[in-house]
Structure 1
């Protein structure tokens, strides 16, 4: 018979606990509901200021409720309310559509412009790597095979002019080009991700990777130049190259940005400096993935179907102009800001 008083006492404690705190719970619920419905203007400034405090109070109430084994209905209510409030206090402020709109209307370009010094360094290294590749093969043809390996596609130093021209000819049919485009995207994405990831080793491996990849290009340019075909080859390459090489440039710059922030953290700790640089560089890398998708489509379809060097060069030039115009001219709206921008 003693169980009945115990049950009554527990029920009394539960009722008292709820009555003492229910006002804060209801107030928090009203604020969260208004935020979820997008009715921010209907919320008083005082309530918005109190939102984090009310959230912490309710989370504390939930912890107490769990420890004291209050009734299941109260526990379920508090758990649901705390989850909803957490997303409003700490969760993302915009949905996927809002993030994409902010990203493409200035967030990405602002992050790229913030890396201007790293882009200049990466560009210098890439040009130097191209020159190194050219000079090495000019001294010894064996360097060509050391750099290019099995990826020459019949474009080696021993190839005749006719053989080299044949490798630049368009494909008569688009059959199978989809799989080819997917392969090219996968390969290029691997290079970009590696260039970015190696930045955590203070940027040195990133520089070496950029030199190696561009030395390969320099070696091939030399081979085509020896047969008087450097212009057709450059035009053939430009269709996708202006987009692909731009993406590799930005990926390398993103990696260098992280490495440079670790070497020169300023007044912050190394980890804090690297974390801030990482957020900015990650946004740049998200855009690089989009560029690589476009480059894969251009390389897998357009380049294979377009025949004349002039048309190929025009397409490549237009793509380069579009990228430069976007990165230089598109800026975030006032007050919008850019994630990770300084």
Structure 2
């Protein structure tokens, strides 16, 4: 695209839009219609310039014009309870549902890897001895040892808050660092899987795998699912840099980034629930089957929320992105 020719052809439209915006609310009905039409055309011009000839001066002027026109056309609005309800009943579950092809394989492969690591550690005493000295391992795995007392070592409320903070930070890191070509996400995910595998292996070698699973499953099912969703979304965000699809790389990354930000908020709520279970249910005096049943119920409720509520919203066109009036126009690019 010849930028000089493009600017010459459309400068009059941009000047007219600027003139209408400067008049504020003193517009006739016909002028309001003209402002809306010019706003839409200018947004398209901005997208074309960004994708074909991103001159800073032209992009800066058009960005300012589009932002001012959007404010004039849509008006200013504040997020309210209706926005929060829409996010929880449509935006967040639809975003998780749409990314299922990323986080479900991530969950399956991670679980398999944790099981393999646990088996490998449990059948190789030399690997166990490389982890810690024999007396330290006994202190960790024996009845009343560190694996058991960990969940009751602090008051339930403060422990739940600490767990939620740590897990929310891990999930947020997976979502944010996905833009770095997926590598940091893979490392964070592997670290979590390795810790789980070590616990499985050590407790299994001590003949207490049932105790370990009774401690980890009540909160771990929902907690790990949230981590897998975050990791899968981060991997999807990183892959967008490699293969943006029909959109420009900037537009595709912006779309996935906005969805990831919303995902971080939703997953923080999910991890708050799993943290509460870990702080109050896991160390409680309930029977093992009752604690596991609570964890399974929480996990099933989340999956129903994603696949039923989120699936319905996704099929209706919800993508977990901001409203179309709050983002710039996106145009496909040539393959």
TMscore range, shorter length: 0.5 to 0.7
Q: Which residue of 2 aligns with 1:137?
A: 121
CA drift of 1:217 comes to: 0.6
- Within the candidate set 300, 304, 307, 1:328 is matched to 307
Q: Which residue of 2 aligns with 1:72?
A: none
Q: Which residue of 2 aligns with 1:340?
A: 321
Asked if 1:317 corresponds to 2:296, the answer is yes
- Within the candidate set 71, 83, 92, 1:108 is matched to 92
Query: What TM-score do the two structures reach when normalised by structure 1?
Result: 0.67
Q: Secondary structure of the equivalent of 2:122?
A: helix
1:253–1:160: structure 2 CA closer, same or farther, 3 Å change rule? closer
Asked if 1:187 corresponds to 2:136, the answer is no
1:143–1:90: structure 2 CA closer, same or farther, 3 Å change rule? farther
Kept in 1, the 8 Å contact 2:122–2:204? The answer is no
Unaligned 5+ segments in structure 2 are 1-18, 41-66, 323-335
Larger Rg: 1
Asked if 1:210 corresponds to 2:192, the answer is no
When the two chains are superposed, the root-mean-square deviation of aligned CA atoms in Å is: 3.9
Q: Which residue of 1 aligns with 2:137?
A: 156
Kept in 2, the 8 Å contact 1:241–1:295? The answer is yes
Q: Which residue of 1 aligns with 2:230?
A: 251
Q: Secondary structure of the equivalent of 1:307?
A: coil
CA drift of 1:271 comes to: 2.3
Q: Secondary structure of the equivalent of 1:201?
A: coil
CA drift of 1:96 comes to: 2.4
CA drift of 1:196 comes to: 1.7
CA drift of 1:160 comes to: 5.6
Instruction: Give CA deviations for 1:55-97 in whole Å, capped at 9, x if unaligned.
Output: 99xxxxxxxxxxxxxxxxxxxxxxxxxx998646356766321
Distance 1:95 1:137 in 2: 51
CA drift of 1:307 comes to: 3.1
Kept in 1, the 8 Å contact 2:226–2:267? The answer is yes
Asked if 1:97 corresponds to 2:97, the answer is no
Kept in 1, the 8 Å contact 2:222–2:274? The answer is yes
Unaligned 5+ segments in structure 1 are 1-19, 31-43, 57-82
1:100–1:161: structure 2 CA closer, same or farther, 3 Å change rule? same
Distance 2:116 2:314 in 1: 43
CA drift of 1:251 comes to: 0.7
1:170–1:180: structure 2 CA closer, same or farther, 3 Å change rule? closer
Asked if 1:299 corresponds to 2:278, the answer is yes
Q: Which residue of 1 aligns with 2:148?
A: 167
Instruction: Give CA deviations for 1:244-277 in whole Å, capped at 9, x if unaligned.
Output: 1111011101101101111112233322221121
- Within the candidate set 260, 272, 295, 1:281 is matched to 260
Q: Secondary structure of the equivalent of 1:299?
A: helix
1:268–1:319: structure 2 CA closer, same or farther, 3 Å change rule? same
1:262–1:232: structure 2 CA closer, same or farther, 3 Å change rule? same
- Within the candidate set 211, 220, 224, 1:232 is matched to 211
1:272–1:250: structure 2 CA closer, same or farther, 3 Å change rule? same
1:306–1:92: structure 2 CA closer, same or farther, 3 Å change rule? farther
Distance 2:102 2:252 in 1: 15
